[in-house]
Amino acid sequence: MELNIYQEEARKTIQKNASDEDLKGIVPFLGIIGEVGSVVTQLKIKLKDGDSYTAFNARLAEELGDVLWYLATIATENGLFLDEVAQKNLEKVFDRFLVDSSSEYKDFDLNHPENERFPDEFEIEFVSFEEGDKKKLKIIDKRDNSMIGDPLTDNTYEDDGYRFHDIFHYGYLAVLGWSPVIRKLLGKKRKSKPDIDENEDGARAQITEELVSLFIYHHALDHDLLKYSESVDSGVIKAVQNLTSKTEVKECSGKQWELAILNSYKMYNSLRANNGGRILVSKKNRSLIYLGKN
């Protein structure tokens, strides 16, 4: 049965029993909470009785049907259509968990001059040094041994290793093909198209990227800097997508963001453990690779 047909048939059975008119719209929300509890109860019985609970599938189907009825009722009473809800949900979960093939990646440098494009692949080196009593870091472009940007510190009272955080930006570059921060540092701003230069490569986009990096970092602090993580909380991914929804990187999927974050933190932890090292930034392979120290 199609969802829209089910919803229309279920609509005929909606009861308006609440004495208070204001409560009628609340009852289905309360009802679905109770039915979800009934679904969980079936699991409890199954765990307790094991294979001897031969009615499990039938009872579970019945309880799931009741949940579906309440879903349909809530949708109907709020002007929504289950088939549209289902379609949008599939788009959401596909974006979050499946969109990762090379054909799905957006090339933000397409149709721009060669001198405005990110390199397909290049090597950088994170070199630690001390100046006075302060730990610092410089990043070297191994193509010509020039320094990229200014020396970095943790910008905090404690030594927490945040001076290595530029690796996050290189991770966005490698996996997503996007980084206004690195585009500026490498002199790759797309000045041939003034609107792109201002709106995608300008200060606001750079600030947004720094905000995203700091937001993810504070989440990572509560998860051992993602050292043992094979996934990123979907709430974090959604928040990042919301923060970047006004930029070109909105074209990237949740799955692609997850890969960028995990790859970047793998490199970040390697850099911290070794107090620096060489990194291959490979946009063509959509990854960062730690090459060790000289």
- Domain spans of the chain? 3-97, 102-292
Report pLDDT for 19. Answer: 61
Residue 178 makes CB contacts below 8 A (sequence gap 6+) with 108, 172, 247, 248, 249, 252
Instruction: Count CB neighbours of 88 within 10 A.
Output: 10
Class of domain 3-97: mainly alpha
pTM of the full structure: 0.81
Report pLDDT for 36. Answer: 95
Report pLDDT for 155. Answer: 75
Positions in the chain whose pLDDT score sits under 50: none
Confirm if 261 and 105 have CB atoms less than 8 A apart: no
Residue 15 makes CB contacts below 8 A (sequence gap 6+) with none
pLDDT digits (tens, 9 = 90+) for 163-202: 999 999 999 999 999 999 999 999 999 999 999 999 999 9
Angle at 169 between CA 271 and CA 223, to 5 degrees: 60
Report pLDDT for 132. Answer: 80
Report the distance separating Cα 229 and Cα 214, nearest Å: 18
